[in-house]
Amino acid sequence: MKRVECVPNFSEGRDPQVIESLAQVAAAVDGVQVLHIDAGADAHRMVMTLVGELEAVGEAAFRAISLAGQLIDMTRHRGVHPRLGATDVCPFVPLAGAAMTDCVALARRVGARVGAELGIPVYLYGEAASVPERRSLVELRRGEYEGLGERMAQSRFRPDFGPAHFNPRSGATAIGARDLLIAFNVSLNTTDRAVAQEIAQDIREQRKGSGGLKGCRALGWLMASYGSAQVSMNLVDFRMTPPHVALEEVRRQARRRGFEVTGSELIGMIPLEAMLAAGRYYLGQEHRSQDIPDEELVAVAVASLGLSSVRPFDPGEQILEYRLQQAGPPWDQWAAGLLTRPVPEDLLGSGESVGKL
């Protein structure tokens, strides 16, 4: 069986009826399990995590994109998160039994359907990108929804599928394939967005030359409802830069500027191994034994990362393997051997991993 994850991001984080409708339409597809919904009012964004067999997940994603195009009017949308359209992005992620090539092919099939049947412009990104310049979401979203009409008028920015003209209501959608990603935000003891933006600039992986954290995409914003500026990160390869490494670098950069980290939050879900790595790192920093049960390592990670600082973090809901176990048969059988490749040992070992990475 080819098992995949899909994490569509929708430009709606405030209307509970729309959020519930999108979750229900995806869950209605046989062979699909919606594991988690994460909605935020400031970002005005909903992140859905679903898993299932390859073709079933593709169908669920298509139905959700279709409904989002009907329910979300982008002409009225305002939020702090960059976005292109009602369904901003829809990545497919290979799990055990699937290869990246499977997800690339699925992204292209779904993209073709969205363009032809729904009339929504589609840009392929990540491993599914048709041209190198579109691999990066940062490049695709440049100018965001507000600049989309002008960009689409340029021949080099024609969509891969769908109409080559601006759709004001739905905007455009980026559909692609990638590895597991961790969306991780670190809060600062300031409301000055410029501070968070400066730190984000310093820590993100540089496109040219060396510098920054490997596989880290970052921006700074103000979360008004939290009363805090945040460094918002996508860790596109948590094997290279896990959350504890990212947080400690943000802490170092913040202190250089006279500020402190006050906690963090996870958007969506996280693999268990990333939490175990954080628990072992912080125990190592305190010269304490790391030979403890996984549940205790997770508790150490939650406390040390400050994951419940702005809203409760529930390991049973946000750790992929734990949530699959809770879902019952047949999903509980997916929890073992979930990842397509193992996490390096140096991520799971002593508290020296920050220096190594």
Which residues are tagged catalytic? 81
By C-alpha distance, which of 318, 191, 213 is closest to 267? 318
Can you tell me the distance from the alpha carbon of 34 to that of 57, in angstroms, rounded to the nearest whole number? 10
Burial class of residue 255 in the structure, from the number of CB atoms within 10 Å of its CB (0-12 exposed, 13-18 middle, 19+ buried): exposed
Can you tell me the distance from the alpha carbon of 170 to that of 19, in angstroms, rounded to the nearest whole number? 16
By C-alpha distance, which of 279, 300, 232, 322 is closest to 49? 322
The tokens of 264 are what?
């963090």
Q: In what order do the strands lie in the sheet with 261-267?
A: 216-223, 228-235, 182-188, 261-267
Can you tell me the distance from the alpha carbon of 281 to that of 346, in angstroms, rounded to the nearest whole number? 10
The tokens of 277 are what?
């790595």
**Residues 6+ positions from 330 with CB-CB distance below 8 Å:** none
**Residues 6+ positions from 147 with CB-CB distance below 8 Å:** none
- Report the DSSP beta bridge partners of residue 172: none
Can you tell me the distance from the alpha carbon of 330 to that of 306, in angstroms, rounded to the nearest whole number? 33
Can you tell me the distance from the alpha carbon of 86 to that of 15, in angstroms, rounded to the nearest whole number? 14
Measured CA distances, 67 to 21, 52, 60, 138, 295 (Å): 8, 20, 11, 25, 38
Identity (one letter) of the amino acid at 54? L
Burial class of residue 112 in the structure, from the number of CB atoms within 10 Å of its CB (0-12 exposed, 13-18 middle, 19+ buried): middle
